[in-house]
Amino acid sequence: MKKLLFQFDTDTHPSVFDTVVGYDGGADHVIGHGGLTPDNISALVDGAIFTRAPKDKKNTAIFIGGSDMIAGQALLAAVQKHFFPGFQVSVMLDSNGGNTTAAAAVAKLATSGALAGKKAVVLAGTGPVGQRAAALLAQEGAEVSLTGRKMDRAVRACKNMHARFGVNIIPVEAIDNNARAEAIADAHIVFATGAAGVELISADQWLHNKTIELMADANATPPIGIGGIDVMDRGTERHGKIVWGALGFGALKLTLHRACIAKLFEDNKQVFDAEAIFALAKALA
Ligand SMILES: NC(=O)c1ccc[n+]([C@@H]2O[C@H](COP(=O)([O-])OP(=O)(O)OC[C@H]3O[C@@H](n4cnc5c(N)ncnc54)[C@H](OP(=O)(O)O)[C@@H]3O)[C@@H](O)[C@H]2O)c1
């Protein structure tokens, strides 16, 4: 019985990254579908849940990806709505690696210092990684704010996380590096989750800061998000702060992503979203 992973992607082209990790996580075949919405998945979900005998359904799983976390969340809800007792398969949501990347980084930050009660700022937190990172930090007891270049995008991201996790994140409009430097002035934790190849703050905007204890940057593409750190930093001390670079926690992200894929095939009722993925990240970190 082949292990089949169906990639349900909200973007036009299913993510190549997710295809590769699907195979590396143990799937025998990864079948990608792009441009999916809650309105066009019925036949695809039916094909996944009706084809195999109950004991064999664990060999079929669904992976939801794409660049839009809100669209991914809606797709997950729509897929689950199609399930009914005896007719379901395991499913994972990881739009743009948002869950696995955020979970790996926050789990590594937690190994470097306390998160509860700390003031955390997620820079450029409006994307999939930033939204999930902000929610996880808040669930760990941090007081979290999130920046975006436009207030309406920051507010939308915060509202989405409140609706999904019940957490209160403070939206902050920060149009440029100077505004982002202001936003982290009294922070204890800074996590940069900006688009690839965009510097969000320069070295001289944080290295003299007296409150920052922990920093992480998800962007591995030069220029990286936080000037003056290194992508390979793995809990490295820089100017009195503990720093995690994108590749420093990236190994855990990949291990975690593969481990989640492998677990999808253990039974047909697994749901890998932020909670289950973060629990596994903490165990692996
Ligand atoms: N280390 C790892 O293992 C790993 C794994 C996956 C992804 N990543 C990286 O994690 C980062 C976040 O991923 P993502 O998918 O959440 O990112 P994303 O959606 O591409 O971008 C995140 C946010 O960056 C902001 N942004 C875009 N262009 C900008 C600019 N020129 N100046 C300032 N801000 C800008 C946007 O916010 P506003 O428009 O609201 O300002 C956007 O919502 C990326 O760098 C990605 O490559 C790392």
Alpha carbons within 13 A on the beta-carbon side of 202: 4
Task: Return the beta strands (E) in the chain as ranges.
Answer: 4-9, 29-33, 60-65, 90-93, 119-123, 143-148, 170-173, 189-192, 214-217, 234-238, 241-244, 271-272
Whether pTM exceeds 0.75: yes
Share of the chain above pLDDT 70, in %: 100
Q: What is the mean pLDDT of residues 41-62?
A: 98
- Is the shortest distance between the CB of 246 and ligand 1 below 6 Å? yes
- Judge if the beta carbon of residue 103 lies within 6 A of ligand 1: no
Ligand 1 centre distance from Cα of residue 61 (Å): 28
- pLDDT of the residue at 274: 98
Measuring CA to CA, which residue among 99, 145, 106 is closest to residue 125?
145
Contact 21, 258 (CB under 8 A): yes
Q: Is the CB of 129 under 6 A from ligand 1?
A: yes
pLDDT, tens digit (0-9, with 9 covering 90-100), for 64-99: 999 999 999 999 999 999 999 999 999 999 999 999
Q: Say yes or no: CB of residue 97 within 6 Å of ligand 1.
A: yes
Between the CA of 22 and the centroid of ligand 1 the distance, in Å, is 23
* Per-residue pLDDT, 198: 98
Q: How many whole angstroms from 193 Cα to the centroid of ligand 1?
A: 5
pLDDT by residue (tens digit) across 215-259?
999 999 999 999 999 999 999 999 999 999 999 999 999 999 999
Q: Which atom of ligand 1 is nearest to the CA of 253?
A: 3
CA distance 50 to 148: 43
Verify whether ligand 1 is closer than 6 Å to residue 263 (CB atom): no
Averaged pLDDT, 142-165: 97
| Contact residues for 175 (Cβ-Cβ < 8 A; gap 6+) | 149
Q: How high is the pLDDT of residue 172?
A: 98
**Is the peptide bond between 14 and the residue preceding it cis, with omega within 30 degrees of 0?**
no
Nearest to residue 99, comparing CAs of 261, 223, 265?
261
Task: Supply the pLDDT for residue 197.
Answer: 98
Q: Across residues 180-192, what is the average pLDDT?
A: 98
Output the pLDDT for position 118. 98
Quickly list DSSP for 28-55: SEEEEE-S--TTS-HHHHHHHHHSS-GG
When pLDDT is cut at 50, 70 and 90, the band that residue 55 belongs to is: very high
Does the beta carbon of 156 sit less than 6 angstroms from any atom of ligand 1?
no
CA of 28 to the centre of ligand 1 (A): 31
Predicted confidence band of residue 102 (pLDDT cuts 50, 70, 90): very high
Q: Whose CA is nearest to atom 29 of ligand 1?
A: 195
180 within 8 A of 155, measured Cβ to Cβ: no
The residues near 171 (Cβ < 8 Å, ≥ 6 apart) are 145, 146, 148, 151, 154, 155, 157, 158
- 124 in contact with ligand 1, CB cutoff 6 A: yes
Mean pLDDT, all residues of the chain: 98
Mutate to test the pocket of ligand 1, among 67, 96, 150, 217 (most ligand atoms within 8 A of CB): 96
Mean pLDDT for the stretch of residues 104-118: 98
Residue of 93, 129, 159 best suited for mutating to test ligand 1, as the one with most atoms within 8 Å of CB: 129
